[in-house]
Amino acid sequence: MAKEKLSMRKISEVLRLSLEQNMPQRRISASCKVARSTVADYLDRAKAAGLRWPLPEGLDEVQLDRLLFPPRAADLPRPALDMVYIRQEMLRPSVTLQLLWEEHRVHTPDGYSYSQYCKLYRDWLGKRAISLRQEHRAGEKLFVDFAGDTIPITDPVTGEISRGHLFVAVLGCSNYTYAELMPSEQLPDWIGAQVNALEDIGGVPLVVVPDNPKATVTRPCWYDPDINPTYQEMAEHYGFTVIPARTRKPKDKAKVECGVLIAERWILAALRHHTFFSFAEANQAIRTLLKRMNSKPFKKLPGCRQEVLERLEHPVLKPLPERRYELAEWKKATVHPDYHIEVDGHYYSAPYNLIKQEVMARFTRTTVELFHKSRRVAAHVRSHQKGHHTTLLEHRPPAHQQFMEWTPERIISWAGTIGPACAEVVTQIMAGRPMVEHGYRPCMGVIRLGKRYGNDRLERACARALKLNIASYSRIENMLHNGRDRVPLPAEPTPCPVGGHDNIRGAEYYQ
């Protein structure tokens, strides 16, 4: 390419001075006020075009320019690129424009350069719908959210109306949409809806993009949000990554925003005149509408959501795990001084050496597990009895374990080694308490008096207490301390015989 574009007059002058006057290029450059390199370039082009002086008559500027600057192969029209094919291939995992361009050059060696190829594709992409500007790979992202509007559910008995919340999940590549009506937006319904969505899709994407509800994010943050432990556990079970959308950034989840809008038009609006008496009935109607929506052909691309799901998404989605995720909630708790923590009104034991330390309680419908520094330290069967305790013996301190090993039979048998009176005393002490366990401590106190005063004295003291009907630890201990166990009991008084006597008036006297 010439460094300067000269007019026909200057080109003619350069050719005349060179071809007719045989003037050196340096002098031509000075005479025509043109760079020497430009003079050399035009003379080479004239030689290649076979031009002689004088120039042919009738040669105009356009014809001269065409002779000096013939079109190159790169400037010739090229076949149009199949942009729809490029778009569909770009949806496949790991496919790049560089790879597609190299394949293009293999089939078309004189095709577009890489920069032209990319520019043409991006120009085409920019003219499509706005939702296509984000490149979503097959099997890469699932966007989840709740719709703003609700569906009323009428109780068939009371007529009371509750509001059903519409959960929506949209796959980034195929736009395949799943929707389900849930009683609330709380954690159990949020998790349950996503488990159902994954099973309906038939696989697991790499990333799930939720909004920032409390059921998902315990502490919103642009850079490092805290994911709810239950939601994180679910993600680990299925093997996907949770990347919440940034707060107040709806474009981060434009797919689901659009999906929610479509769901509201195709589902909520379509069902506005229906009256539902159960969530099952409403979800059956929603499934019918979803099937029709996912089978509806795209307007600007070939195929439909269902077809793209099966053709592009299914081959790269990760398989579902063998076991369905069981909802497990998490709770931080500090171990009480009685080495128990509270979950839903019931108390569960933890190892006594964790008193006043923080543990994480993981509880499902059937189990309660306690974790300390990510290590499981306890497991219990879930109980729904409010105010009651579930305690494992190994969680108690050694002294408490020894106490809990006591039983009424064992205590009575132990007292029987001292004597029958002692066994009878402990039996009466336990029988006189509202709960038999409340009598363990005083009974053990009575038995241990034998170590201080001897078993013989204790047996006599117990026999004396039984006759006087004062069977208790304090009375027996006081009796032994004062030595009254050695004092014989007074003889019982002889009963007075009942018979005739002048001083006995009889019943007739009062008639």
Within this chain, do residues 175 and 302 fall inside the same structural domain, yes or no? yes
d(CA 224, CA 209): 14
pLDDT at 248 over 70: no
Of 82-86, 250-254, 436-440, which has the strongest mean pLDDT? 82-86
The per-residue DSSP string of 286-308 comes to: HHHHHHHHHTSBPSSSSSBHHHH
- If we measure between CA atoms, which residue out of 304, 299, 301, 312 comes closest to residue 84? 301
Residue 83: which of 300, 310, 307 has the closest Cα?
300
- In the listed set 372, 398, 424, which residue is the last one of a domain according to the structure? 398
Query: Do 255 and 183 fall into the same domain?
Result: yes
Residues 88 and 65 in one domain: no
Q: What does residue 58 show for φ and ψ, rounded to 5 degrees?
A: 80, 0
Q: Quickly list H helices, 83-205.
A: 83-90, 97-107, 114-126, 187-201
pLDDT digits (tens, 9 = 90+) for 447-487: 999 999 999 999 999 999 998 888 899 999 999 999 888 88
Tell me the residue range of the domain where 208 lies: 141-313
Structure-block tokens of residue 45: 């082009």
Q: Is there a domain that residue 48 lies in? A: yes
CATH number, domain with residue 13:
1.10.10
Last residue of a domain, one of 342, 363, 398: 398
> What's the rounded mean pLDDT across residues 41-67?
78
Q: Which of 214, 151, 207, 223 lies closest to 187, judged by CA?
A: 214
Residue 358 pLDDT > 80: yes
Residues 32 and 50 in one domain: yes
Q: How confident is residue 423, by pLDDT bands cut at 50, 70 and 90?
A: very high
The reply to whether 247 and 112 lie within a common domain is no
Q: Is the pLDDT of residue 383 over 90?
A: no
pLDDT interval class at 65 (50, 70, 90) = confident
Residue 328 structure tokens? 């497990």
The answer on 412 and 368 residing in a single domain is no
Q: pLDDT tens, 7-36?
A: 777 778 888 888 877 888 888 888 888 888
Q: Which structure tokens are listed for 5?
A: 């574009």
- pLDDT of 498: 55
Q: How many domains does the chain have?
A: 5
Residue 322 lies in a domain: no
Residue 198 lies in a domain: yes
* Top-confidence range, 209-213, 251-255, 317-321: 317-321
- Within-domain flag for 460: yes
| Contacting residues for 475 by C-beta, under 8 A, at least 6 apart | 465
Shared domain for 186 and 301, answered yes or no, is: yes
pLDDT surpassing 60 at residue 253 = no
Collapsed DSSP state (helix, strand, coil) of residue 212 = coil
CB atoms within 10 A of CB 72: 8
What distance in Å separates the CA atoms of residue 103 and residue 95, rounded to the nearest whole number?
A: 12
485/465 Cα distance (integer angstroms): 9
Taking only the tens place, the pLDDT of each residue in 199-236 is 999 899 988 888 765 555 554 444 444 567 888 888 88
377, with CB counted inside 10 A (0-12, 13-18, 19+), is: middle
Asked whether residue 378 falls in the same domain as residue 286, the answer is no
Both 178 and 226 in one domain: the answer is yes
Q: 272 and 283 in contact (C-beta within 8 Å)?
A: no
Residue 77: pLDDT band by 50, 70, 90 thresholds?
low
- Whole-number pLDDT of residue 217: 56
What length is written for the chain?
511
Burial status of residue 18 (CB atoms within 10 A of its CB: 0-12, 13-18, 19 or more): buried
pLDDT band at 132 (very low <50, low <70, confident <90, very high): very low
Q: What is the pLDDT of residue 224?
A: 42
Q: Is residue 320 part of a domain?
A: no
**Residue 73: CA count within 13 A, CB half-sphere:** 6
pLDDT of residue 236: 87
402 falls in which pLDDT band (50, 70, 90)?
A: low
pLDDT band at 111 (very low <50, low <70, confident <90, very high): confident
Instruction: Report the SS3 class of residue 136.
Output: coil
Percentage of the chain surpassing pLDDT 90? Answer: 10
Please check the confidence at residue 317 and state whether its pLDDT lies above 60: yes
3 state DSSP class of 122: helix
- 282: in domain: yes
What pLDDT shows up at residue 45? 81
- Enumerate residues 6+ apart whose C-beta is below 8 A from 46: 15, 19, 68
pLDDT at residue 496 greater than cutoff 60: no
d(CA 362, CA 42): 85
Q: Report yes or no on 40 lying in a domain.
A: yes
pLDDT at site 117: 85
Within 10 A of 453 (CB to CB), how many other CB atoms are there? 18
- Between β-strands 141-154 and 207-209, what pairing exists: parallel, antiparallel or unpaired? parallel
The answer to whether residue 43 scores a pLDDT higher than 60 is yes
Q: How much is the average pLDDT of 391-408?
A: 72
Beta bridge partners of 144: 169
Mark whether 356 and 306 lie in a shared domain: no
pTM of the model: 0.50
Q: How confident is the model at residue 374 (pLDDT cuts 50, 70, 90)?
A: confident
Q: Identify each DSSP E strand in 250-328 by its residue range.
A: none
Q: Do 150 and 296 lie in a common domain?
A: yes
Is 136 within a domain?
no
Q: What percent of the chain has pLDDT over 70?
A: 83
89 and 55 share one domain = no
Query: How many angstroms separate the Cα of 198 from the Cα of each of 177, 343, 393, 411, 461?
Result: 11, 30, 42, 60, 76
